[in-house]
Amino acid sequence: MPGLFDPILNWRLLPGSHAFPGPDGGTCINEAAVVAAGLPYRAIRSSADCPPCFSGPLATYALGLNDAMPDAERPRLMTFVLRLARSADAPAIEEARTSHLVLEGVRRLLPPVLERAGLAQHAAACRAASNLGRAATVARHAAWSAGSLAEAAGRQGTWVRGARAAAASRAALFAAEIDPRTAADAAEAAALFWPGAWAEAVAILDEALTIGRQAPALAPDEAGMRMEAAKAGRRERVPAG
């Protein structure tokens, strides 16, 4: 992410909520977005703690990814620091965003992990899901089949196969829920045996952000100055030594 985002790339994203950004940044994605937008800082433990101008489904999914991603993957979220504040929209738009996060999770996050568990037929059904109801149904069926495989593998002592099936079952159970938080949980479960899940989940979030109202343009250099000011303010509050 060189070039355009250079002014904000020295901000460090961390899992969990934080009372105030540390000298190296040290916040979750939504807290960083609060600072970048020039809004009063707040610790965010769930999307309910976000300012009302944040889209609930988008903030929830982003926070779920932020808390679950390994440190090496979390910088993928930095491009969203400029896009979350003032993204809130009408209920119908927020429902459409949730639908996108869930449906695309079933279509794109589940198939690779199901195939790794030996469930190619279920993977194909997930890819072909044409609507949210169908997606939830095929994900539940996949969860049941993967759970049965995991149980059988445990009895047979084939532990790697069992672990893959268990991860697939867990991912499918999460993906079957019509909820942006469990959609992010599905990405975490899928990533256990498919590292590409993180990049795909970030792409799904990017697409959901194009639905409905777009956050007003925020120049990266202006956001960077606000973030640097927040870090400087933290240093002034904490005595040396």
Tell me, what's the pLDDT at 9?
A: 61
**Averaged pLDDT, 164-189:** 95
- Alpha carbon of residue 189 to chain centroid: 12
Domain match, 194 and 114 both: yes
Domain match, 233 and 164 both: no
Tell me, what's the pLDDT at 119?
A: 96
Domain extent, residue 193, equals: 92-212
Number of domains the chain contains: 2
Domain match, 151 and 205 both: yes
Residues contacting 146, CB < 8 A, separation 6+? 114, 117, 119, 122, 165, 166, 168, 169, 172
Residues of the chain above pLDDT 90, percent:
57
Phi, psi of 11 (to 5 degrees): -95, 130
**Averaged pLDDT, 99-115:** 97
> Is the pLDDT reported for residue 161 higher than 90?
no
Measure the CA–CA gap between 99 and 82, rounded to whole angstroms: 23
Domain match, 71 and 107 both: no
Cα 28–Cα 174–Cα 167 angle in degrees, nearest 5: 95
Domain match, 80 and 130 both: no
Tell me, what's the pLDDT at 236?
A: 52
> Is the pLDDT reported for residue 198 higher than 90?
yes
**Which of the two residues, 127 and 230, has the higher pLDDT score?**
127
- The candidate with the shortest Cα–Cα distance to 29, out of 79, 70, 72, 98, is 79
* 2 within 8 A of 215, measured Cβ to Cβ: no
Domain match, 174 and 194 both: yes
The string of DSSP letters for 193-226 reads T-TTHHHHHHHHHHHHTTSSPPPPP--HHHHHHH
**Torsion over CA: 149, 176, 44, 29 (sign):** positive
Domain match, 37 and 68 both: yes
> Is the pLDDT reported for residue 19 higher than 90?
no
Domain match, 19 and 66 both: yes
Tell me, what's the pLDDT at 241?
A: 40
Tell me, what's the pLDDT at 23?
A: 65
**Averaged pLDDT, 118-137:** 97
Q: Give the chain's end-to-end CA distance (angstroms, integer).
A: 35
Domain match, 204 and 221 both: no
The string of DSSP letters for 75-107 reads GGGGGGTTTSTT----HHHHHHHHHHHHHHIII
Domain match, 236 and 174 both: no
> Please, which pLDDT band fits residue 185 given cuts at 50, 70 and 90?
very high
Domain match, 28 and 41 both: yes
Domain match, 193 and 141 both: yes
Place of tokens 């925020």: 218
